[in-house]
Structure 1
Amino acid sequence: MAPANPLPRLTRSIGANAVLLGLAGLVLLPYAWMALTAMRAPSEIFSDPFGLPHDPGILVDNIRRAFAAVPMARFLLNGLVVTAGLLMLQLAVAVPCAYALAKLRFAGKSALFALIVAALCVPIQVPMLPIYIVLASLKALDSYFALIFPFVLSPFAIFLLRQQFRAFPDEIIQAARLDGFSEVEIMLRLVVPSARPAIAAFAVFSITAHWNDLYWPLIVVSSETMATPPLGLMFFRDGDLGTDYGPLMAGAILIVAPVMLVFLLAQRQFIRGLTMTGLR
């Protein structure tokens, strides 16, 4: 029997890789444009928009001017406080809820899980108006509480972790109960460590979503000192750098870099978490 011709397979592989590279280029094009603009002097941005920057060292000057134009450090600090605090609170709520739905028996369990799934179908914009009215009546607008409170209960986190916890062997849990472990000890010492990939996957989703969120901060934040990073970029238009896109793009790089770093550090756990929860 004659050996199979490898050319068709090689051609398909080259074609598929070419398509993927082209799509990757389209995705990365805005980031490349942002970086090139941040490395240009004001006179180069419009006079030579498609050329390479003549002095990449201008990036440092644009970063310095970005910090001088707006309180960029404050924006980054606000983003860190909101995303880190929110992630810890979301996990503090989601972990016990997911464990109860996965491993405990109680009345109304199925109805509660159905409610969690139904909540996943509700756009986040739907309950924002009543939440805003409540925050306004409590005089809690323009605060960390207003930025964090509406998102503490995450149906997505509960659903994701519940799927992961269900795969944990019941025999180990029963043995731990016989050894005198409390449910809290079983959850924290046995079940949660086994779900680190799923927790990492949710952490990437949560940090990315709330670090980049502009919709809710634009509604509840009215002062520059409480602005989150995406909202902080809007203050450029009110200052002397309203038409100076170099510092604006330098500020955008500073805002995008932490999210990209988090994803790169958690990439393996992120993919593993999605794969493991998707198979169960």
Structure 2
Amino acid sequence: MRPDLAIRAALAHLVLIVGALFVLLPFVWMLLTSIRKPEAVFTAGFNPIPDEFHGVENYSHALSQSPLLQFMGNGVIVCAAILALQLIFALPAAYALAKLNFRARPLVFALVLLGLTVPQQVTALPIYMGLAGIGMLDTYFALMLPFSLSVFAIFLFRQFFKSFPDEIIQAARLDGFTEFEILIRIMVPSARPAIAAFAVFSITSHWNDLYWPLVVTTSPEHATPPLGMMIFRDQETGSNYGALMAGATIITAPLVIAFLIAQRQFVRGITMTGVK
């Protein structure tokens, strides 16, 4: 390799490493705090490695004093159901916008783009009033309803399907495939990287969502992980930071594991602009 190219590559990697350290620093500090004694969290001086390991006590306290596993179970149910509903609605809509010719297609796509600009807080009040009117507050249904249709998913899959060769679809139609069979048997398998990428975005967003569960949930039985951490914080009166960080580590770990499992597909889904 030429010396100037080697220097550029080294500088680029150095910048990436520094950026990664800034991103990872809060998580590393969370892990280190979760194994400290409560009185050692605010000691004077900078000592990243604790003098005394207190992780067993902190993690045991976090699991025994608050039903974190129940909160995580609620998060799994809500995130999985939301993702399934989003895929059920978004994949057919994206295929129609990408590969079917109908008069209102430009208008529908414009509405999808417009939907991307509407923040969640704008629709929160009418949805809340509707749920209150039918007596469905403090239920899993209330936690899932606003997110069952994702315009971002429609846009993402539409862009992916747009690059799929029309010749393959035409050949499938000549073979007698219906549009639904083309979607299920041809388009969806080819869109696995895009589905994996969207799944990471969706699960991360709704697992970490505090705003909507705080609005529609009133009992700990339906609390999601962030809301459960608020309940745990109130029980701890904000003093036992070691146990609090242990609880935060417990509810963060599934996201990290899920991303590591789907990392390759996630990167492909983000970077691919077509099929080979």
Match for 1:177 among 173, 179, 188?
173
Residue 160 of structure 2: aligned partner: 164
SS in 2 for 1:127: helix
1:238 aligns with 2:239: no
Separation (CA, whole Å) in 2 of partners of 1:81 and 1:38: 27
Matches for 1:22-37 after TM superposition, within 5 Å: 22-37=18-33
State whether residues 38 and 250 of structure 1, in contact with CA within 8 Å, keep that contact through their aligned partners in structure 2: yes
Match for 1:215 among 197, 211, 218?
211
Matches for 1:2-151 after TM superposition, within 5 Å: 6=3, 9-47=5-43, 50-51=46-47, 52-56=49-53, 58-151=54-147
Pair 1:232–1:5, CA change in 2 (3 A): closer
Match for 1:275 among 249, 260, 271?
271
State whether residues 141 and 220 of structure 1, in contact with CA within 8 Å, keep that contact through their aligned partners in structure 2: yes
Separation (CA, whole Å) in 1 of partners of 2:7 and 2:59: 46
Q: Would you say how many aligned residue pairs link Structure 1 and Structure 2?
A: 274
Q: Give 5+ residue unaligned stretches, structure 1.
A: none
Q: Which amino acid aligns with 1:179?
A: D
Pair 1:181–1:12, CA change in 2 (3 A): closer
Q: Deviations over 1:176-228 (max 9, x none)?
A: 22222121111100111111111111001001110111111111111111110
Pair 1:246–1:278, CA change in 2 (3 A): farther
Pair 1:17–1:181, CA change in 2 (3 A): closer
Give the share of equivalent positions with the same residue, in percent.
Answer: 56
**TM-score, normalised with respect to structure 1:** 0.92
Separation (CA, whole Å) in 1 of partners of 2:181 and 2:200: 26
Pair 1:88–1:172, CA change in 2 (3 A): same
Residue 201 of structure 1: aligned partner: 197
Separation (CA, whole Å) in 2 of partners of 1:212 and 1:278: 31
Q: Deviations over 1:224-264 (max 9, x none)?
A: 11110011111123224631011110110011111111111
Separation (CA, whole Å) in 2 of partners of 1:261 and 1:94: 26
Q: Deviations over 1:1-53 (max 9, x none)?
A: xxx982x5544444433333222222111111100110111122122563212
Separation (CA, whole Å) in 2 of partners of 1:68 and 1:241: 16
Separation (CA, whole Å) in 2 of partners of 1:140 and 1:266: 34
Q: Deviations over 1:113-153 (max 9, x none)?
A: 11001111111221111111111111111111111010111
Q: Which amino acid aligns with 1:248?
A: L
Match for 2:223 among 208, 218, 227?
227
Q: Give 5+ residue unaligned stretches, structure 2.
A: none
SS in 2 for 1:125: helix
Q: Deviations over 1:84-120 (max 9, x none)?
A: 1100010000011111111112231110011001111
**TM-score, normalised with respect to structure 2:** 0.93
Separation (CA, whole Å) in 1 of partners of 2:73 and 2:67: 10
State whether residues 163 and 274 of structure 2, in contact with CA within 8 Å, keep that contact through their aligned partners in structure 1: no
Please identify, of 233-242 and 168-177, the stretch whose mean Cα deviation from structure 2 is larger: 233-242
Q: Which amino acid aligns with 1:176?
A: A
Separation (CA, whole Å) in 2 of partners of 1:128 and 1:278: 36
SS in 2 for 1:242: coil
State whether residues 142 and 222 of structure 1, in contact with CA within 8 Å, keep that contact through their aligned partners in structure 2: yes
Separation (CA, whole Å) in 2 of partners of 1:120 and 1:49: 47
Separation (CA, whole Å) in 2 of partners of 1:5 and 1:185: 52
Separation (CA, whole Å) in 2 of partners of 1:247 and 1:198: 38
Separation (CA, whole Å) in 2 of partners of 1:278 and 1:127: 35
Pair 1:199–1:49, CA change in 2 (3 A): farther
Separation (CA, whole Å) in 2 of partners of 1:195 and 1:49: 52
